[in-house]
Structure 1
Amino acid sequence: MADETPSGIPTHRPLPSVGMPLLRDDVRSTRQKQLLVVVALLAIAGIAAAVVALVPGPPPEGEGGEVPAAAEGPAVPLAVGFSPPHDAGPLAIDAGPPAPPPEPLAIESTGVPGGTRTTHAFGRAVGFRPALTNAGLSGADADALTTALTGVMDFRRCRPEHQIVVERDADGSLVRFEYRASITQIYEAVRDGSRWLGRQVDVPVQRTRLARGGTVATSLGAALDGAGLGRAMVGTFVETFDGRIDFNTETRAGDAFRILLDEERIDGQFLGYGTVWAIEYRSQRRGVLRAFWFETRAAAGGRPAEGDFHDETGRAVHGGWLRTPLRYDHISSPFNPRRMHPVLRRVMPHNGIDYAAGTGTPVWAAADGVITFIGARGANGNLVALRHEGGYETFYAHLSRFAPGLSRGDTVTQRQVIGYVGSTGRSTGPHLHFGLKRHGGFVDPGRELNGPGRMLPAAQMGRFRAQLASLRRELDAIEIPEVAVREAPEAHPVAATEDVMD
């Protein structure tokens, strides 16, 4: 079968180099086909007679059987990337009009006569400016907005689900731009004369103090769910009282809890829970455990506030580490050097603790440290490794994704979000594997990260005692409803998750 060029013209010899002239028979064959196509198209238009008059005879031959240069016209290359000669219009491939921009998510009136507001998804654009032009903005407007928002927002953190809002007046001119990264993270640019000004929008969050209490019947998670708080709040209790009670083995039916916390809403829409101000767990095994939140340093200059839970004497309940680097539902697999692997069915050390939690749950750095690895790592899936002072290293495996903007060598602070719970790698369900090394060897994080906390400085004790008295009154006023409980000790469910860290 004859080979074909990209245009579909058959060749019966190897492809010549670019610039080599066609042989005489190829030239004649090519031109005849072009003229046939032209004749057919003109006949349809009703001017076939004129076409016949224009058809030339066979091209003249020169010496040696070659086509004279004047009759041949420009040489037509047959190599890859072939383009037909200019007079071969009917044979040219028409790529069609450019693809239209993506349809907007919403179109609405701005309240100004003739004004419109359109909302587009950021989508799969390769950058901020391309996303703006995809949304129908001109190149000049896209450049102006990029300049106005430089230094205001981090363009590297744009994601497909983010939204671009464009407002135009009755003449179609751009008058306002908005970028919505989340319900609380919104940036805008407005025209100020001949220039654009960018800023982050201050979104008002309504906070309501909630006071809840309950009694454990089947599990702490179910009790919190029954109090209208959701099972994810279990992590707050575990994180706060780790080292004083093992919620995986010491929780009993008939235990009770109280909690004071802020509920956050925006325009009536539930956003989540904010600060937990006071927390109490009444354990039949460990007695009454209480902790009170105290802000040790106020927010300033874009820096977030800092604080921790303290007991009633003013001592922090945490040492220098977060024993649990996330809020989770339950421990699905503890540290166990002799664990029978649930998938491989052989004894294989489980060098860490598995915390079952929903996909997307934020994961924090357990202490200040430096990122030594961030990326995919075999059966561990998406992994972050941190190096800390004192010969410690921590590992966070099976993440669904990493916090934006992080890379190897970066310094992170305690409780900084470094990733989000997932089930990447060899895993049968969403969870975080949290591993801890000391001087190169794996140790049990539950036992190792259990140092005493520090006392508040004397200069802060007066403010702490005043806040403590108020929170204690609110906590004592919470009624604990009685519920039917089982006589047998509570057994926490174990999620179908496993880990391969070694």
Structure 2
Amino acid sequence: MPEPVPVVAVPVPVEPEVVDPRSLLTWKRGAFGRTLIYTQLQQQGVEGGDIHRIIDLLTPVYNFRKSHPEHMWEVGFHEDGRLAAFTLKVSPVEIYDINDLDTEAVLQRREIETFTETKTVRGTIDISLFGALAEEPQTAVLAGKLAKVFAWDIDFYKDPRQGDHFDMLVEAKYVRNDDGVHFLEYGEILAARYQGAFDTYDAFAFDAGDGELGYYNSEGKSLVREMMRSPLKLQRVTSRFNKNRFHPVLKRRRPHNGVDYGAPRNTPVMAVASGRVVRAGRYGGAGIAVEIKHRNKILTQYFHLNKIAKGVHVGSRVKQGEVIGYVGKTGYATGYHLHFGMKRNGRYVDPLAQKFPPSTPVPQELRGAFQTKVAHYLTQIDGVDNRNVLVRKAGDSAGEKTSQAD
């Protein structure tokens, strides 16, 4: 028999553990506030020359005049007390590190890992949409996004009733750092359903071929209309269209040719439809005002603004939903509100009584892809496979259309 081959143990090389030199430093932390950053760092033992060096390095990427109490700073020292590093945290995804402050200082923007997941959010109206979303992060942002999706069908001031229920599938963006995973912000609402006392509305995000997401109902009809129902995402009507209203400032009866929406100072005001700006500036008792001319001989008015949005001036083009100004109380106004007026063919009309047709539906050649997307979204919201129901619905619709054509 052949001699057995001796087994020789070969040592496996062990990778040396990489130690972050910043973890060996002693750190002191603070936040931007009323006390100047120069004074704060001095109080932590940083010398004036080093403070100027830190400020000079950060100035190209950070405006110190716009510092905010949420902006945090950290300064690191060696064991012997020598200054070593500085970190500026503007947001979870905007962090600047300065290393080697004791030698050749280098500024770097930290690479932050972010990722997006879909999240199902449900709520039941008790008092308001805000209240129904109170447990969610960035409540106002999420409420505004949902209100914008249904802006053409639901007036979130007067329409919601106690017990109304909604479900939505929304993109939630997260950041992963040394402290773990943290919520960052909401992205697009992918699907939503609102079950009200009188009707049920649904919305599904879909790219109909123009490279932008639009919202459609389950039948492929666009939720977008020629005009939005309100120039504010969330508001309360304080005074309606009235041909014989008693004016609170002038103390006499005169026509109130529009709708007044009560809202906090500097609430963003949106153009209810695309058009061309024909007035932007002071306008007598209307205060700071914007007027926009639209197609079909429609003119809309936005009065008592606190200020006009950047880039909005006479002759400029604005898109539906674009912010054109901010709520104020300029002119003849007793409190912060927006006066919204509308003319058709040169005559004032009640904005709340107007009906406008929907925009272009999902093209017929994309209906199959759209129904597949809808089924996928509904499965995520309901936890039930909706594909067969939607395919039958699509088939029925197609059949009805064919019969009518014949």
TM bin (shorter chain): 0.5 to 0.7
Question: Following TM superposition, by how much is the alpha carbon of 1:139 offset from its aligned partner in structure 2, in angstroms?
Answer: 5.8
3-state DSSP class of the match of 1:349?
strand
8 Å contact from structure 1 (residues 332, 355) kept in 2? yes
Question: Following TM superposition, by how much is the alpha carbon of 1:461 offset from its aligned partner in structure 2, in angstroms?
Answer: 3.4
Q: Deviations over 1:113-133 (max 9, x none)?
A: 2565554349999xxxxxxxx
Specify the alignment match of 1:341 in structure 2: 247
Could you tell me which amino acid in structure 2 is paired with residue 275 of structure 1? Answer: E
3-state DSSP class of the match of 1:339?
strand
Question: Following TM superposition, by how much is the alpha carbon of 1:395 offset from its aligned partner in structure 2, in angstroms?
Answer: 4.1
Specify the alignment match of 1:489 in structure 2: none
Question: Following TM superposition, by how much is the alpha carbon of 1:433 offset from its aligned partner in structure 2, in angstroms?
Answer: 3.5
Taking the aligned partners of 1:463 and 1:188, their CA distance within structure 2 comes to: 44
1:281 maps onto 2:186 in alignment: no
Could you tell me which amino acid in structure 2 is paired with residue 293 of structure 1? Answer: A
Question: Following TM superposition, by how much is the alpha carbon of 1:453 offset from its aligned partner in structure 2, in angstroms?
Answer: 1.5
Relative to structure 1, is the Cα distance of residues 444 and 187 closer, same or farther in structure 2, using a 3 angstrom cutoff? farther
Taking the aligned partners of 1:463 and 1:189, their CA distance within structure 2 comes to: 46
Question: Following TM superposition, by how much is the alpha carbon of 1:310 offset from its aligned partner in structure 2, in angstroms?
Answer: 0.4
Question: Following TM superposition, by how much is the alpha carbon of 1:253 offset from its aligned partner in structure 2, in angstroms?
Answer: 6.2
Taking the aligned partners of 1:223 and 1:138, their CA distance within structure 2 comes to: 46
Question: Following TM superposition, by how much is the alpha carbon of 1:454 offset from its aligned partner in structure 2, in angstroms?
Answer: 0.9
Could you tell me which amino acid in structure 2 is paired with residue 308 of structure 1? Answer: G
Unaligned runs of 5+ in 2: 1-21, 38-47, 385-406
Relative to structure 1, is the Cα distance of residues 164 and 246 closer, same or farther in structure 2, using a 3 angstrom cutoff? closer
Which of the numbers 294, 300, 312 marks the counterpart of 2:206? Answer: 294
Relative to structure 1, is the Cα distance of residues 185 and 415 closer, same or farther in structure 2, using a 3 angstrom cutoff? farther
Unaligned runs of 5+ in 1: 1-109, 126-134, 299-304, 479-502
Question: Following TM superposition, by how much is the alpha carbon of 1:318 offset from its aligned partner in structure 2, in angstroms?
Answer: 0.9
Which of the numbers 75, 88, 100 marks the counterpart of 1:178? Answer: 88
Alignment of 1:324-473 (within 5 A): 324-342=230-248, 344-359=250-265, 361-369=267-275, 380=286, 383-386=289-292, 388=294, 392-399=298-305, 405-406=310-311, 408=313, 412-421=318-327, 427=333, 430-437=336-343, 442-448=348-354, 450-458=356-364, 460-473=366-379
Taking the aligned partners of 2:293 and 2:113, their CA distance within structure 1 comes to: 36
Which of the numbers 110, 132, 136 marks the counterpart of 1:224? Answer: 132
8 Å contact from structure 1 (residues 169, 175) kept in 2? yes
8 Å contact from structure 1 (residues 312, 468) kept in 2? yes
3-state DSSP class of the match of 1:469?
helix
- Number of aligned positions between the proteins: 344
Could you tell me which amino acid in structure 1 is paired with residue 212 of structure 2? Answer: E
Question: Following TM superposition, by how much is the alpha carbon of 1:361 offset from its aligned partner in structure 2, in angstroms?
Answer: 4.4
Q: Deviations over 1:27-66 (max 9, x none)?
A: xxxxxxxxxxxxxxxxxxxxxxxxxxxxxxxxxxxxxxxx
8 Å contact from structure 1 (residues 422, 430) kept in 2? yes
3-state DSSP class of the match of 1:338?
strand
8 Å contact from structure 1 (residues 337, 349) kept in 2? yes
Taking the aligned partners of 1:122 and 1:418, their CA distance within structure 2 comes to: 32
Relative to structure 1, is the Cα distance of residues 165 and 254 closer, same or farther in structure 2, using a 3 angstrom cutoff? closer
CA RMSD of aligned residues (A): 5.1
Taking the aligned partners of 1:228 and 1:220, their CA distance within structure 2 comes to: 14
What TM-score do the two structures reach when normalised by structure 2?
0.60
Question: Following TM superposition, by how much is the alpha carbon of 1:140 offset from its aligned partner in structure 2, in angstroms?
Answer: 6.2
Taking the aligned partners of 1:374 and 1:124, their CA distance within structure 2 comes to: 39
Question: Following TM superposition, by how much is the alpha carbon of 1:367 offset from its aligned partner in structure 2, in angstroms?
Answer: 3.9
Could you tell me which amino acid in structure 2 is paired with residue 346 of structure 1? Answer: R
8 Å contact from structure 1 (residues 232, 328) kept in 2? no
Taking the aligned partners of 1:157 and 1:371, their CA distance within structure 2 comes to: 33
More displaced 10-residue stretch of structure 1: 431-440 or 224-233: 224-233
Alignment of 1:190-269 (within 5 A): 204=114, 207=117, 209-214=119-124, 221=129, 224=132, 239-241=148-150, 244=153, 256-262=165-171
Q: Deviations over 1:210-257 (max 9, x none)?
A: 34253x67x564883689796987766665556656666666666554
Could you tell me which amino acid in structure 2 is paired with residue 188 of structure 1? Answer: Y
Question: Following TM superposition, by how much is the alpha carbon of 1:335 offset from its aligned partner in structure 2, in angstroms?
Answer: 3.4
3-state DSSP class of the match of 1:204?
strand
Could you tell me which amino acid in structure 1 is paired with residue 205 of structure 2? Answer: W
What TM-score do the two structures reach when normalised by structure 1?
0.50
Could you tell me which amino acid in structure 2 is paired with residue 209 of structure 1? Answer: K
8 Å contact from structure 1 (residues 239, 323) kept in 2? no
Which of the numbers 73, 96, 102 marks the counterpart of 1:188? Answer: 96
Identity of aligned residues (%): 28
- Bigger strand fraction: 2
Could you tell me which amino acid in structure 1 is paired with residue 358 of structure 2? Answer: P
Question: Following TM superposition, by how much is the alpha carbon of 1:339 offset from its aligned partner in structure 2, in angstroms?
Answer: 3.1
8 Å contact from structure 1 (residues 176, 189) kept in 2? yes
Relative to structure 1, is the Cα distance of residues 117 and 280 closer, same or farther in structure 2, using a 3 angstrom cutoff? closer
8 Å contact from structure 1 (residues 255, 283) kept in 2? yes
